Structures are given as C-alpha cells and as structure tokens.
Structure 1
Amino acid sequence: MYCVSCRNIHMFFPPFSHLTIVSLLFRCPWTVMANFKGHALPGSFFLIVGLWWSVKYPLKYFHRKGKSSQLTHYYQRLEITEAAIRTLFSVIGVLAEQFVPDGPHLHLSQESHWVKLMNWQHSTMYLFFAASGVADMLTYLSAHTPVGLDRLVMAVAVFNEGFLFYYHVHNRPPLDQHIHSLLLYAVFGGALSIALEVILRDNIVLELFRTSLAILQGTWFWQIGFVLFPPFGGPEWDQSDHNNIMFITMCFSWHYLAALCTVAISYSLVHCFLTRVKRHGEREIIGIQKLKSDHTYQTALLGGSDED
C-alpha cells in the first residue's frame, strides 16, 4: 500500500472515516520505518556513548588513584576527541531528522500547518547535545572557559531532552504514553547527576551513575521502537491493555539492571586489565634492574681480577 494524503483518500474513498484514514497511514511501510528509525537513531547514540563512558571513567579513576600524572595530557586529547565525535553525531542526527525523504526539510510550517513537529523535536534535542559537545571542546581547548561549564551545558541538554519528551506524548494511547514517560526517569535522573558534577567534579560514583542512565536511555529507545513500531511486521501491541503496561514497567527495571551489570562488568574488566599491565611492567622493571646488577657485579669481578 502506498502513502497517500488525507485529501487523496477522501477523493478516492469518500465513505472512509478519519479513524480509517489514520489506520491506513500507520500501515504505510515507510511511515513505520521512519518512526522506528527515529527511535533507533538516538538509541544508538546513547548506547555508544554510554558504553564508551563505562570504559573511560574507570580508566581515569584508576589512573588518578595511582597518582599517574603523566597521562593528563593524553586524557585531555581524548576528551576533545570524544566531544568532537559527540558533536558530529548530534549534527548527523539533526540532518537525518530534517532530510529523510518524508522529513520537514527545514520547513517549520506550510500552508498554515505545522510540518513534522516530531522530527523538529528530535532535531532540537540533537541541537542541544551538539552545543554540549562544543562546550566540552572549549573546556579543554581554552583556559578562559570556566570550570564546570561543560557539565552545566550537558545537564541543560539532558534536561531539555526530558522537557521535550514530557510534552511529546500527550493525547496518545496509554501504552505509548507510559513507555515514553518511563524514559523520563532516566533522563531527569541523568540531568540531576550531571548537575551535581558541576560541583563534585571527577566523582566516580556520579560518573558511573550517569553512565548507567545513558546506557538505559539507549536500550530503552530501541525498546520503544520495537514496541510501538515493529520493524519486521510483527504483531502490534494492544495499547490499551493494562497487562502490557505492567510488563513494560517491569521490562524497564530489567533494562536498568542490565545497564548496571554492564557498568559493573566494564569496571571490573578495566581493573583487571590495568592490574595485569601494571604487574607486567613491574616484572620488566625488576628484570632490567636484575640485568643491571648482574652487569655491575661482573664488571666489579673483572676489575678485581685485573688488579690481581
């Protein structure tokens, strides 16, 4: 079935009601895929960032704990690179939302009607995250940037995400509203955690908490896409069934437990890796010192034999 406008449907099928028209539009393959991709794209963004943070922050913590100051410059370059990549991802998100075949193409209104406001909301979310990436780069590139500005702008970006989503699901079926509202717990929790990092900078507990919520957002965006817009033609969920709402609530808890386990496993693997590297380095140092002492001893013996 092809995508058709409401006017064309009324032209060819006058007896159809508005409810039938809506059901036809939601059966349009491209509409379904566009909505699924609209959730999969930010889900992938948050998941990649969260998994990266689950490695980066334990690395920084263990190096700070070991008082390893020689890696400070390396980590600064790493932060700049990460910020640049996050900014690039955000710009790609804006362009993807605007210039997909059925996107608004930067048209906010047309013929006294709003154009694709859902895409515009997603674009606004990505725009704030792009600003956060720029603030991160300025923090490490300019000595005049106030300390904590990067965390403040990131907190504002995450809060803006929650603010947009709060008004994103009004007048929708119960399951649709509920599955989106659950996301707000992760979003506003992340915003609060990042805001605390403005004051408590380099706090590993807050950093790992933020990481777990980023992973949760990533997996939950994908879950929303699969529930509301099944991409492979699976059966649609009954959006008014209370049992589905109960299951989705329980599923959200499972997602967060999986996110916590991911962070814990990553933390443990980083610790084991650094411990092994440290032991290997200590063995090499001991071996070199032993070789030097043996060489010194042999030199002393040769010197003594020459005197005899």
Structure 2
Amino acid sequence: MGTFLGHVVPGTFFIGFALWWIYSIFRRYFIANKFHHNGIEGYRNTISYPCHVNSRSVNIEGYLKVICTTIGIIGETATAFEDGHWAHLGNGQHITMFAFFGISGVVDLIAMKKDKVLPANSGYAVGFLAFAAEGFLFYNHLHGRTHMDVQVHMMLFCAIVGCAVSAVFEAYLKNSVIAALSRAYFTLLQGTWFYQVGFILYPPFSFLGKWNEDSHEQMMIVTMIYTWHAAFHIALIICAGFWVKFRVDKLTDADEEYSFWAEDSAPLYKKLSNMDNQWIGQYKDSIEDEPSVSRRNEKFKSEIIDSDLEAP
C-alpha cells in the first residue's frame, strides 16, 4: 500500500460497503416503521444486507468481499517479489488483512444458505476478527516511519477500532439502528481517511505539493482534517436518512421484495394477504421455541382478519 493507488483501492472498498450499509439500514428501519405491525420494534440488524433480484435475496456483499480480496491478494503477491525473491514483507501483512475480510465474505455466503450450518452471530464474530486483525496489523506497521506517517496511520487505527467495537455492540443490540449505523459510520471514516492518507503521503499531482512530515504545524492541520472527516460523515448519514425516508414514504404497498433475510432467523416479515398492508412475523430468538412463535403469529393473523371482517 506504499503508493497512492494502494490507499485508494482499500478506501474505495470501505466507502462502497459503508454507503450500502447506510442506505440498507435506513431502508429497513423506515419500512419496519411503516409496514411492520410492531412498528420500529420490528427492525432488526444483520451483518450484511442482500440485494433483491427476481424475488430472490442475493448476498452481493459476500461475493464482492471474496472477489475483491482475492484480487488484492493476487496483486500484493505479484508485487512482493524482486528477482525471484520475496522482497517486500509489508505485502505479507496486506495479504493477511485481505484474507481475513475474504473469510468474512465466505461466512456471509454460508450464512445465507437455508440450512443453517453456522451458529448465530457467526458473521458478526468473523467481521469483528477481520477488523481486529486489520487494526493489529496497522498498529505494528509503523516502525521507522516519519512522525506524520505514524500520525495518519494511528488515526486510521482509531477508525478501525471503532469498526470492531461497533460490530460487537451491534451483535448484542440487534434492534438498535444506532449500533448498526455506528459500524457503517466508522467504516466510512476508515475509507475516506485511506484516501486522505494517500493524498498526504503520496500526492498524485505535483500542484498539491509535498507535506513536511516532521512539521508540528502541519501535523496539527492533519488533526483538524481528521475531525472534518468525522463531522462530514455525520452530516452525510443524516442527509441519507432523510432521503431514504422520503423514498419509503412514497411506497403504498410492500411486496415480497421487503422480506428481509437474517442469518439467524426466518424471513423477518411475512405479508398475510393483499387485503391489508401489514406485515406479520416474529423473530425466532433463542429464548422462544417454534410453537410459541407460531401461536403468537396466528393470534396476530386472526386479529387482522377479524378487523377486516368487521370493516363496513
């Protein structure tokens, strides 16, 4: 990653995933509020968010993780050799980081299968390990660097820690939209800061000039820029929330497209019939058995059907 392109590529990866998560989280939250019989209490987090293609849920995130990390591993391996010998040990650390996120993608794809072969929260556990490994590698990747080089990478390390901690909280707070948005927020911060580090350490254009990496004044400017990134992302998430809510408010009916998938539960929402615009379905938590969930769903179903019959 010791080039401008080496920082842009992973930055684009994290930005793309973060923006998709932000959109999907808000979309699920507002649809639950509008269509689920429990309102926003019907919202539930998942480690990844599928795309709906021809009435099928496709975990595009898992495929992208596997494909992108495989390309990254091949690229880092190809550029690590000089004269037939492994000459760049840093590439080995990058390959290790890519491998962890690739494993996360594989787990996402396995968890998508109907026959549940993985325990609940496996995706969150592996996602946490991927961020933790990334942070550990970056923390021990700074020996012999300039002061500013160490500074910008430690700021990146802080964002990575935020991603890992948010993943843990999200796994335990499945109904908290704030926990889910926190993971997306720190991932977005990590992605844009990758770009910023590339511009600071490896400016791609001559007119940008070279930073004095030992200047205390310029290091103070870098600190301000980091906080600007953090503030901008908060504003971006708020604007995204208003935009997604506007789109959901225009919906007059929710079809099977909005039957969300979760790695540790049945489809989150089930539409009863075309006569109403309500969604029925309860989460299969570990503290409840299948019969109790079914009985409660039947109770909700009978209540809605009775109300339809009583309507003039």
Task: Provide TM-score, normalisation by structure 2.
Answer: 0.71
What's the secondary structure of 1:278's corresponding residue?
A: coil
Of residues 51, 54, 63, the one that matches 2:31 is 63
Unmatched segments (≥5 aa) in structure 2: 43-48, 256-274, 276-312
Structure 2 partner of 1:81: 60
Compared CA separation, residues 78 and 57, structure 1 to 2 (3 A): farther
Residue 91 of structure 1 aligns with which residue?
A: 70
Give the SS at the match of 2:156.
Answer: helix
Q: 1:262 maps to which residue?
A: 236
Q: Counterpart of 1:82 in structure 2: which amino acid?
A: E
Q: Is the 8 A contact 2:51 2:60 kept in 1?
A: no
**What pairs with 1:72-151 in structure 2 (closer than 5 Å)?**
78=57, 80-99=59-78, 103-104=79-80, 110=85, 115-141=87-113, 142-151=115-124
Contact (CA 8 Å) 1:211, 1:263: kept in 2 or not? no
Matches of residues 1-308 of structure 1 in structure 2 within 5 Å?
35-65=3-33, 66-67=35-36, 78=57, 80-99=59-78, 103-104=79-80, 110=85, 115-141=87-113, 142-233=115-206, 234-278=208-252
AA at the equivalent of 2:249:
T
Q: Please give the secondary structure, in 2, of the residue aligned with 1:239.
A: coil
Residue 285 of structure 2: aligned partner: none
d(CA) in 1 for partners of 2:229, 2:135: 19
What secondary structure does 1:277 align onto?
A: coil
Kindly tell me: are residues 237 and 144 of structure 1, through their superposed partners in 2, closer, same or farther at Cα, counting changes over 3 Å?
Answer: same
Larger radius of gyration: 1
> In structure 2, what residue type is equivalent to 1:241?
S
Match of 1:20 in 2: none
Percentage of identical aligned residues: 31
| Closer/same/farther in 2, CA of residues 255 and 153 from structure 1, 3 Å limit | same
**Per-residue deviation, residues 59-114 of structure 1 (Å, max 9, x unmatched):** 12223333189xx9976954622211222112122222222xxx115x9x93xxx6
Separation in structure 2 between the aligned mates of residue 73 and residue 231 of structure 1, nearest angstrom? 36
Following TM superposition, by how much is the alpha carbon of 1:127 offset from its aligned partner in structure 2, in angstroms?
0.9
Distance across 1 between alignment mates of 2:151 and 2:217? 12
Deviation at 1:170, TM superposition (A): 1.7
Secondary structure of residue in 2 paired with 1:177: helix
Supply the AA of the counterpart residue of 1:96.
G
Alpha-carbon contact 2:50-2:59 (below 8 Å) kept: no
SS in 1 for 2:178: helix
Distance 1:259 1:98 in 2: 34
Matched AA of 2:149: D
Counterpart CA distance in 1 for 2:218 and 2:72 is: 31
Matches of 1:221 and 1:46 in 2, distance apart? 9
Corresponding letter in the other structure for 2:240? S
C-alpha distance in 2, partners of 1:128/1:73?
A: 21
TM-score, normalised to structure 1, is 0.72
Query: Distance in 1 between the 2:50 and 2:191 partners?
Result: 30
Match of 2:304 in 1: none
Q: Identify the structure with the greater helix proportion.
A: 1
Partner of 1:28: none
- 1:19 match: none
4+ long deviations beyond 6 Å: 72-76
Letter of the structure 2 residue corresponding to residue 94 of structure 1: I
One-letter amino acid of the counterpart of residue 132, structure 2: F
Which blocks of at least 5 consecutive residues in structure 1 are unaligned? Answer: 1-32, 286-308
State the distance in 1 between where 2:217 and 2:50 align: 53
